[in-house]
Amino acid sequence: MPSRLLAGRRIFYDPHVFLPLSKAVARAHSKLYPEEPYNDPRTLAAIALALSRLMPFYWRDPASGRLIELTDLELSAAQFTKAALEVLAVSVPRFEAALESLQATSLDQARVSLTLRQSPRAARPQSPRL
C-alpha cells in the first residue's frame, strides 16, 4: 500500500498484542463454521469485511515494522485478497470482542432461520384449474 494513502496512527508491531488478519479470519471461520474445514476465499473475504466494520485494521510497514491504522476510506476501498490478509493486522483484544459480536449475530440468525423452518406454513391458495 502506498504510504501517501496511510494517514492513520503509527504503532509498533507486537505479536502479543496484534494478530495477522489472515490468522484472525481463519480463527473466526473456525468459530463461525466449525463443521466446514474448507476455507473458501470468498467466505474469508466476507469475514474480513465484517471484521473491518467492527474494529480498526492496521498495515504493517515491512521496512520499519510499524503498524499504520487504515482510515475508513482505505478500508472501504480494500479488497481482502489472500495477499492483503497477510499484510494487515488487528488488535487481539479488539478481535476477541468483535468475534463475540459476530458469533452472537450468527447465533441469532441461526435461531431465526430455524424458527422459520419449523413454523407451520400458511396454505397457499390454489389456482383454479381450467
Q: Is there a contact between 107 and 74 (Cβ–Cβ < 8 Å)?
A: no
Q: Where are the domains of the chain?
A: 20-116
Whether the predicted model's global pTM rises above the 0.85 cut: no
The CA-based dihedral angle spanning residues 89, 30, 94, 7, taken in that order and rounded to the nearest 10 degrees: 30
Mean of per-residue pLDDT scores for the chain: 77
3 band by pLDDT with thresholds 50, 70 and 90: very low
Residues above pLDDT 90, as percent of the chain: 28
The residues near 20 (Cβ < 8 Å, ≥ 6 apart) are: 85, 86, 88, 89
Q: 109-121 pLDDT, tens per residue?
A: 555 544 555 556 5
